[in-house]
Structure 1
Amino acid sequence: MHSSKSYTLTEAQKKIERYCAYQDRCHKEVLGKLREMRMIPEAIDQIMTHLIQENYLNEERFAKSYARGKFSIKKWGRNRIVNELKQRQISSYNIKSALKEINEEDYLDTLNTLALKRLAQIHESNLQKRKKKLADYLLYRGWESNLVYEKLKELI
């Protein structure tokens, strides 16, 4: 379970600064971490304010790097990225801003590459089942249904 170590305000702040410096975090993650460290609400407020003022914590920057990373590394579509950001309580303004990080041409190229790669792995002779398997795969990864169905028409 949680360690019973208690932290002074300064110790907690230093620990959280390192946590944020290692990779961009959203407010929700940092709040969770501070609660895990058993910090009192007043201390949490003070630390959160400090992190924002010192630019350790920046939701727009978090959203942008999250979107870039999940698109380029995990090959997620916009829907999945949006849903994951919403779960992290990111504002719609910051979500819009994050989606602008994804180049449209790269987006469509990635969908094409992903669809071709997956199609080669589907060993199904029934055309409808083949289509469904590819569609399910792409939709699960958050690709927009209109793009997915266009791609199916083109490939199968």
Structure 2
Amino acid sequence: MTDRLKDALRKAASFCAYQERTQQEVRERLDDWGIYGDDADEVIAELITLNYLNEERFAKTFAGGKFRVKQWGKRKIRQHLQQRGITGYNLDQAMTEIGADDYREALAALLDKKRRSLRDDNPLVIKQKLARYAMSKGYESDLIWQVLGEAE
């Protein structure tokens, strides 16, 4: 490995140590540093070997964090992971981070909090606004309507 690649590896390791990253993010950063093709592949392979780069770990951390902190639904989390180049097994593993009971409770709490902020006399309008809000957060429409039906 050349000195240039060793330097890139050191910088990339520091980049990955700061926060979980995907291969796509590391490759983009290497491009910024002028490392391309086989050289970039070599650096990425070394980061994986040294366990600085682990897409399954990234996907699980991302999904769990976005669910707990931002109350995102599975649809939105899945879409953002796919945009970051996470697919297949790693994507499925990320979704297992979100328990079904926790997911339903989070949706109910989200809808309850939003309901308190809405000012409208028509219950149908309120339901519509709640459903739209929950869908924008990435929750599935059938689950939203179930939870809204139980809240009546």
The answer, yes or no, to whether TM exceeds 0.5 is yes
Residues in 1 aligned to 2:26 and 2:120: alpha-carbon distance in whole angstroms: 46
Runs of 4+ off more than 3 Å: none
Pairwise CA distance, 1:42: 2.7
Matched with 2:116 is 120
Matched with 2:132 is 136
Give the % identical residues.
39
Residue identity matched to 1:123: R
1:51-130 → structure 2 map (5 Å cutoff): 51-130=47-126
Structure holding more helix per residue: 2
Residue identity matched to 1:108: R
Unaligned stretches of 5+ in structure 1?
Answer: 1-6
Unaligned stretches of 5+ in structure 2?
Answer: none
CA RMSD of aligned residues (A): 1.4
TM-score under structure 2 normalisation?
A: 0.92
Residues in 1 aligned to 2:121 and 2:31: alpha-carbon distance in whole angstroms: 53
Matched with 1:154 is 150
**Alignment coverage as a number of residue pairs:** 150
Q: Which moved more, 1:33-42 or 1:54-63?
A: 33-42
TM-score under structure 1 normalisation?
A: 0.90
2:20 equivalent to 1:24: yes
Q: Which moved more, 1:99-108 or 1:77-86?
A: 99-108
2:46 equivalent to 1:37: no
